[in-house]
Structure 1
Amino acid sequence: MRYLSRAMLSLAIAGLFSTVATAQDVKERNQKDFSEFMDRSGNRYRTAMGTPGPEYWQNETDYKIKANLDDENHKISGELTLTYTNNSPQDLDFIWMHLEQNRFKEDSRGTLTTPVQGNRYNGDIDGGYTITNLEAKVKRSSSSKHIIDDTRMQVFFDKPVPANGGKATISMDFEYKIPVDGMDRMGRLDVEDGIIYALAQWFPRAAVLDDIEGWNIEPYLGAGEFYLDYGDYDFEITAPASHIVVASGELQNPRRVLSSKVRERMDKAAKSDSTVYLIKPSEVNDMSLRAAQEGTLTWHFKMENTRDVSFASSKAFIWDAAKIDLPSGKKAMAQSVYPKESDGQDAWSRSTEYSKASVEHYSEKWYEYPYPVAVNVAADIGGMEYPGLNFCSWKSAGESLWGVTDHEFGHNWFPMIVGSNERRYAWMDEGFNTFINHYSTKAFNNGEYPANLDKTRNMNGWFTSKEREGIDTYPDATNLRNLGMTAYYKPAIGLVLLREYILGEERFDNAFISYINAWAYKHPQPADFFNHMESVAGENLSWFFKKWFYGTGNIDISIDGVRQYQGNYVITLSNEGEIPMPVKLHITYSDNSSEEVMLPVEIWQRGNSWNYLHRTDKQIKKVEQDPDKILPDVNSGNDSWPSTFYKD
């Protein structure tokens, strides 16, 4: 500690008893608001800089699947082989797998926790898996022992899977009835020309073992989404020959399943910036455009380094496509499939245009799209995302179709590339995605559609509601009336505040892009995001992360008064809310000139009031805080001076 002289001590004591107001009066300290609120220390797996540590690990899941779609009985049957690589530092006697189709049973936990009046996550109750011929192998040992409990299955090995790269194979046959109502995530839809099958969570999937929670085995209830490891997928879908099948990943056998005319059109689409029909509206029932007129066809797809795959199948599809240009010079293909009920220039005829624009924007701004296709499927689903493929409402049109298409494709970045745990931390995918959607919408077609986050104060009714919940509320337990805010809008607004008010665009973008690159195809936790943003942006943001992401407090910055002081002005401010925030002041002078001043957040570290000495030889006419109205400040009545709320 620096030595304090007697003279300095005398001055300090005199200052304590001075009755003269100074330009920096303080009342109490708020250090607790600026201190750490969770353990964010580093270790060998995850560093305090918010990057994967030198011994970071995650397991790998590679799948081979052969499935059959029975459109008479509405069933899926299939054979699955999972090659599981144990990169963890411990041997494994068993693994856990998800059986999400068991949610569609009368006695499932999800069914039994659904309110009597129902909600978005209603589902059929006459489904569920039949699992047969299960075999788990480690080298020459084999076991069929397994336990099924609700939407989870524990698979045991006769000998442990060795740590640090040991492998096991788990094979099984599976079958289930495809639900009509798949909880707004998957299901089937009857239209005039056939049935649209939207297939997701369609095979048994390995649960994640990580260094934070161990096995992540929360049951599938409905609102909570998914958390999966990465691997390579090789899958075949056998469907009626009249069907068009689209899927995550690249089609491996186009000559076997597509007619020569459709292949010619696809080649044209691969070079076209505008939408090209593969199956025109007038050709939906033209079986000459199919590779076979009867029986079945087997569609073969592959996808590398992905956490999931999904597909859709129907004989009712209009099909169109266009190329996607990526920053590296690589190309991908945007595709849309939809029934004639969804056709129209104000509706799904623009789907591929929307898809192409969305993917190109995110690729240019944040991280290049890694998949060969981006498929948009019209289904009886409000909006649901999977790697390389979306399900969006067949009734959407215009602004609503742009919004849902852009949102679901944005999910390819969060959580498909940056693989966060959706079931626990919905805000790390929905909120981050809603944030990037804001800028994509502003960029699309010179702002054809309005962006949702431009007027954050329109949401103050929720911010001041007694029923509001925190962002960190567990998704399955969140009141569904709050989920849109806790998972989507509040975290997205938080990122807008960081980018446009707290850090500035350059510092924020550097940090956010760095976060994406550091955690691409990995499993970040909340602390990793917080640590990384602080490290790269060079700012202690604990005061913000703590209050915004882990609380229900609000922002309310007040201008209490302006008075002359020694030829200058003192502007008196107070923090009437629970969240400290830097203060941007717009000062207008009597000659109608103006300037802006940004006061750092540390003024509130010293207390809830602050006197700012503004040096000027001009006469102040008006002072306004947050002039661009970026902050969702819950009380606009004290934002400016003079006002009817003026205090002195």
Structure 2
Amino acid sequence: MTRFFLPLLCCLLGALSPLIAQPPAANYHANSRFEQMGTALPTPNTYRTASGAPGKEYWQNRVDYDIKAEIDDEKQRLTGSEVVTYFNNSPDELRYLWIQLDQNLFAKNSMANQTRTSSINEKGMPATSMTRSMIDKDYGHKITAVKDPKTGQALRYRINETMMRIDLNAPIRSGQSISFQIDWNFNITDFRFAQGARGGAEFFAKDGNFIYEIAQWFPRACVYDDVNGWQNKQFLGQGEFTLPFGNYKVAITVPNDHIVGASGELQNASQILSSEQLKRLEKARATFDKPVLVVSQDEATKNEANKPNGKKTWVFKADNVRDFAFASSRKFIWDAMNVELNGKKVLAMSFYPKEANPLWGQYSTMLVAHTVKTYSKFTFDYPYPVAQSVHGPVGGMEYPMISFNGARPDADGTYSEGIKNFLIQVVIHEVGHNWFPMIVNSDERQWSWMDEGLNSFMEYLTTKEWDRNLGGDVAEPQNITEYMRTEQSKQVPIMSSSDNIMGFGPNAYTKPATGLNILRETVMGRELFDYAFKEYANRWKFKHPTPADFFRTMEDASGVDLDWFWKGWFYGTEPVDQDLVEVEWFALDTQNPEITKAEQRATANSKRETVARQRDKDFIKESVVEKNPDMKDFYNSYDPYAVTEADKKKYETYLASLTPDERKLVESGMNFYTLKVKNKGGLPMPVIVKMQFEDGTDSVARFPAEIWRLNDQQVSKVITTKKKVVQWTLDPFREIADIDEESNSFPRQPTQPTRFQLFKGGGFQRGGSNPMREAQQAQPPKAGQQGGAKNE
């Protein structure tokens, strides 16, 4: 850092104009980066306003279902019949209806299967890819009837891959409704081989039983809306689904020893549960601190062995939901507890086999309850009567009021910290999907980030409130930098259609979640962000929002112009890479002789301390001048750095010529620093700089992203401090996702040493560890421990 002395006029100008924009370069884009999005967003209308709120003529269609289904536990087959009532609330006349047949994804010749790439090399081929193509079982929806439920008259239909068009005998006019019946069946996918399955059957060879997680299982109506008309894009596996709201009545017939968890409330508990189970369930409804076992592990283990004949039908009712899923098994342990939200009770429940204990009994339902409370705090109160977590073959998947979650301990009941943390995060994430997209009902087939990204951000907040040391990987800016460093050709914007996304995890989950975290912590501040985010959730609950509705609401409710952020973070792939190129140090020339001559003396003395002069102290025993006083004259005793009376008078005359404000500035002793910062990555972000002072203290200065609005290539910024700065650091708290920390310090500082190890013949072992098992091997645990539910 070079120090310069400034005349008073120059310093005053610097203090008044601290932002110095460099002349625009040839590739200057500042103006376009900070201009409004304009026509990049859809034109507002009476359905969707410029503020991001639903318009006065907003509409959406509704679809009700009355479903009867049965699981064949011997053949792993589901048979169903449904009466669907479609309400046309649109201003349009509908001559046909589109229905989703998601199980057709698993048909051998499906588009998804045909377009899924694979290869074989000398190491082989993934087993799932090879065995999937060799399976003889015929998967996919088998439609046996489409008809009028009253007359039995057949309706014409046409199946196109995962979509079915029903051609109506007469159009449904605006305000009218129609009912039709569909009968179908399908073979339940074996989860081991069904690549991309959201549900299926898991077989437990030790006891010969299955866990069924049944999802995307019934023919479901597509959304017809003001944005797309019919959203009938084919289901290829990555872009999930878009569904209308409706009321459901579902009767599920299973073996009579099965326990069923499903979307909605159980309607016939007194007919299918034992008197003891009913008592426990009622106790759970009055318990708020710890889950109560409705079906214990001992009871579930007995069910596994008995396998009696006979069937039971479980009846569920779910109102104002967009989908329905269920799980069934004789292996299930069942626990439950209540959560209270502003006077309303929500029953939090978990269903899991003994193989999931002790982890699930201790954590699952408590996590469900925590998620319900925390998401409600940040958005709106959970509106449904139940919230459930089910353990089975699916690693993590969500449906209204029910979620499927993985994370299983080892066979001996111990587990690694990673498995425990995964359970915590996956339960929070999947239960949290009740808000996004099950209630704030975005189009997953088109915009994965609107549910996965927003929900991952909420998972981040909720996980920290469970354990402040968890959850940072999904939304902390420093964790997205590796992805943002990848080649531009291997990235696509967040605003890409779901099925076309490369790097689905970082693109749909972590990058949008990180963007929201940056908005909350760095760009907007928590108060403005939280208010706007909550406003968006409340505006669009039980409705169908688009990206523009989200973008506009966040700006409308906060008063913060974020178009530059949406364009850079959501529509672009440029990274953040700020470079602290140079820092120049200036001090005001006060003309005080006491200061200036002392500094001159110090500079002169430092220059005299050369290595030769140091060595001459011993080498030259006595100089001629030291030996012979006659060789001395005036200059041998003259001190050019001594303050004279003339110097003092001159300084007094100077001070008298200054105004009071000018004199105050002269006497302030301030240091002036000019920072030159380059925007190497292209994506503008706030400039945050930490100053470490020579006395060991520090301070942080923050400048909004608009600092780049006149020049997006390089800016200079004048910072004044009373103390001297010895080290400057950009983005000191890693909050803007800067991909190159090496260029963030001045003077330059290496961020980490390159480490090496001593090598010894035979090498060394690496691998994960299970400290719980190691501890238990040293001291076995007490017998009979089954997790966190209250024993009955």
Q: Same fold (TM over 0.5)?
A: yes
Deviation at 1:459, TM superposition (A): 3.6
1:374 corresponding residue in structure 2:
387
Q: How does 1:531-610 map to 2 (within 5 A)?
A: 531-565=552-586, 567=588, 568-607=672-711, 608-610=713-715
1:518 to 2:520 alignment: no
1:5 corresponding residue in structure 2:
none
* Alpha carbons 1:558, 1:639 under 8 Å: kept: yes
1:475 corresponding residue in structure 2:
498
Deviation at 1:80, TM superposition (A): 0.5
Give the distance between the partners of 2:385 and 2:687, measured in 1 at CA: 46
Aligned-partner SS, 1:606 = coil
Give the distance between the partners of 1:451 and 1:32, measured in 2 at CA: 33
| Amino acid corresponding to residue 729 of structure 2 in structure 1 | E
1:175 corresponding residue in structure 2:
185
Aligned-partner SS, 1:472 = coil
Give the distance between the partners of 2:435 and 2:127, measured in 1 at CA: 28
1:300 to 2:289 alignment: no
Q: Return the match for 1:404 from 426, 432, 437.
A: 426
Q: How does 1:146-185 map to 2 (within 5 A)?
A: 146-163=157-174, 165-181=175-191, 182=194, 183-185=196-198
2:473 corresponding residue in structure 1:
452
* Alpha carbons 2:475, 2:510 under 8 Å: kept: no
1:201 corresponding residue in structure 2:
216
Give the distance between the partners of 1:92 and 1:119, measured in 2 at CA: 46
Gaps of 5+ in 1: 1-20
Deviation at 1:115, TM superposition (A): 2.0
2:6 corresponding residue in structure 1:
none
Q: Structure 2 vs 1, CA of residues 511 and 378 (structure 1 numbering), >3 Å: closer, same or farther? A: same
Give the distance between the partners of 2:335 and 2:381, measured in 1 at CA: 23
Deviation at 1:449, TM superposition (A): 3.6
Aligned-partner SS, 2:144 = strand
Deviation at 1:143, TM superposition (A): 5.8
Deviation at 1:226, TM superposition (A): 0.9
Structure number with the bigger relative contact order (C-alpha 8 A, sep ≥ 6) is: 2
Give the distance between the partners of 2:704 and 2:18, measured in 1 at CA: 19
- 1:442-493 deviation digits (Å, cap 9, x = unpaired): 110x4364532465324422211122332223322333xx111011100100
1:334 corresponding residue in structure 2:
348
Give the distance between the partners of 1:447 and 1:229, measured in 2 at CA: 37
Q: Structure 2 vs 1, CA of residues 195 and 541 (structure 1 numbering), >3 Å: closer, same or farther? A: same
1:487 corresponding residue in structure 2:
508
Q: How does 1:63-82 map to 2 (within 5 A)?
A: 63-82=65-84
Using the TM superposition, name which of 219-228 and 124-133 deviates more: 124-133
1:389 corresponding residue in structure 2:
402
Deviation at 1:142, TM superposition (A): 6.5
Aligned-partner SS, 2:721 = coil
Aligned-partner SS, 1:228 = coil
| Amino acid corresponding to residue 496 of structure 2 in structure 1 | T
Aligned-partner SS, 1:470 = coil
* Alpha carbons 2:303, 2:331 under 8 Å: kept: no
* Alpha carbons 1:472, 1:486 under 8 Å: kept: no
- The alignment's TM-score, normalised by the length of structure 2, stands at 0.74
Give the distance between the partners of 2:299 and 2:578, measured in 1 at CA: 61
Deviation at 1:189, TM superposition (A): 0.6
Give the distance between the partners of 1:496 and 1:337, measured in 2 at CA: 33
| Amino acid corresponding to residue 300 of structure 2 in structure 1 | V
Deviation at 1:309, TM superposition (A): 0.8
2:20 corresponding residue in structure 1:
24
2:654 corresponding residue in structure 1:
none
- 1:529-563 deviation digits (Å, cap 9, x = unpaired): 11111111111111111111111100012222222
* Alpha carbons 2:141, 2:186 under 8 Å: kept: yes
* Alpha carbons 2:103, 2:140 under 8 Å: kept: yes
- 1:154-180 deviation digits (Å, cap 9, x = unpaired): 0111111011x2111121211111111
Give the distance between the partners of 1:573 and 1:102, measured in 2 at CA: 55
Q: Structure 2 vs 1, CA of residues 134 and 525 (structure 1 numbering), >3 Å: closer, same or farther? A: same
Give the distance between the partners of 2:746 and 2:407, measured in 1 at CA: 51
| Amino acid corresponding to residue 246 of structure 1 in structure 2 | G
Q: How does 1:428-439 map to 2 (within 5 A)?
A: 428-439=450-461
* Alpha carbons 1:40, 1:48 under 8 Å: kept: no
Q: How does 1:134-145 map to 2 (within 5 A)?
A: 134-136=146-148, 144-145=155-156
Aligned-partner SS, 2:424 = helix
| Amino acid corresponding to residue 684 of structure 2 in structure 1 | P
Q: Structure 2 vs 1, CA of residues 107 and 215 (structure 1 numbering), >3 Å: closer, same or farther? A: same
Give the distance between the partners of 2:283 and 2:400, measured in 1 at CA: 24
* Alpha carbons 1:96, 1:153 under 8 Å: kept: yes
| Amino acid corresponding to residue 524 of structure 1 in structure 2 | P
Using the TM superposition, name which of 298-307 and 592-601 deviates more: 592-601
1:321 to 2:336 alignment: yes
* Alpha carbons 1:572, 1:609 under 8 Å: kept: yes
Q: Return the match for 2:357 from 337, 343, 352.
A: 343
Give the distance between the partners of 2:437 and 2:292, measured in 1 at CA: 30
1:635 corresponding residue in structure 2:
740
Aligned-partner SS, 1:32 = helix
1:104 to 2:71 alignment: no
Give the distance between the partners of 2:705 and 2:525, measured in 1 at CA: 14
Using the TM superposition, name which of 145-154 and 591-600 deviates more: 591-600
- 1:300-337 deviation digits (Å, cap 9, x = unpaired): 101111000100111111111111222x2211111111
Q: How does 1:49-88 map to 2 (within 5 A)?
A: 49-88=51-90
| Amino acid corresponding to residue 424 of structure 1 in structure 2 | Q
Give the distance between the partners of 2:435 and 2:128, measured in 1 at CA: 25
Give the distance between the partners of 1:167 and 1:140, measured in 2 at CA: 17
- Stretches of 4+ aligned residues off by more than 6 angstroms: 118-125, 139-142
1:270 corresponding residue in structure 2:
285
- 1:101-122 deviation digits (Å, cap 9, x = unpaired): 1112111111111223579997
Q: Structure 2 vs 1, CA of residues 448 and 274 (structure 1 numbering), >3 Å: closer, same or farther? A: farther
Give the distance between the partners of 2:452 and 2:19, measured in 1 at CA: 44
Gaps of 5+ in 2: 1-16, 120-125, 410-418, 589-671, 751-792
Deviation at 1:629, TM superposition (A): 1.1
Give the distance between the partners of 2:87 and 2:157, measured in 1 at CA: 19
| Amino acid corresponding to residue 419 of structure 1 in structure 2 | N
- 1:187-231 deviation digits (Å, cap 9, x = unpaired): 001124411111001100000111111111111111111110101
Q: Return the match for 1:365 from 357, 375, 378.
A: 378
Q: Structure 2 vs 1, CA of residues 71 and 141 (structure 1 numbering), >3 Å: closer, same or farther? A: closer
Aligned-partner SS, 1:414 = coil
User: Which structure: larger Rg?
Assistant: 2
Deviation at 1:620, TM superposition (A): 2.5
- 1:84-104 deviation digits (Å, cap 9, x = unpaired): 111111110011000111112
Aligned-partner SS, 1:417 = coil
Q: Structure 2 vs 1, CA of residues 90 and 235 (structure 1 numbering), >3 Å: closer, same or farther? A: same
Q: Return the match for 2:297 from 281, 298, 303.
A: 281
Deviation at 1:400, TM superposition (A): 1.4
* Alpha carbons 1:200, 1:311 under 8 Å: kept: yes
Give the distance between the partners of 1:25 and 1:127, measured in 2 at CA: 64
- The alignment's TM-score, normalised by the length of structure 1, stands at 0.90
2:790 corresponding residue in structure 1:
none
Aligned-partner SS, 2:247 = strand
More strand by share: 1
Aligned-partner SS, 1:415 = coil
1:9 corresponding residue in structure 2:
none
More helix by share: 2
1:4 corresponding residue in structure 2:
none
Aligned residues: 617
| Amino acid corresponding to residue 343 of structure 1 in structure 2 | N
1:126 to 2:126 alignment: no
Give the distance between the partners of 1:454 and 1:61, measured in 2 at CA: 36
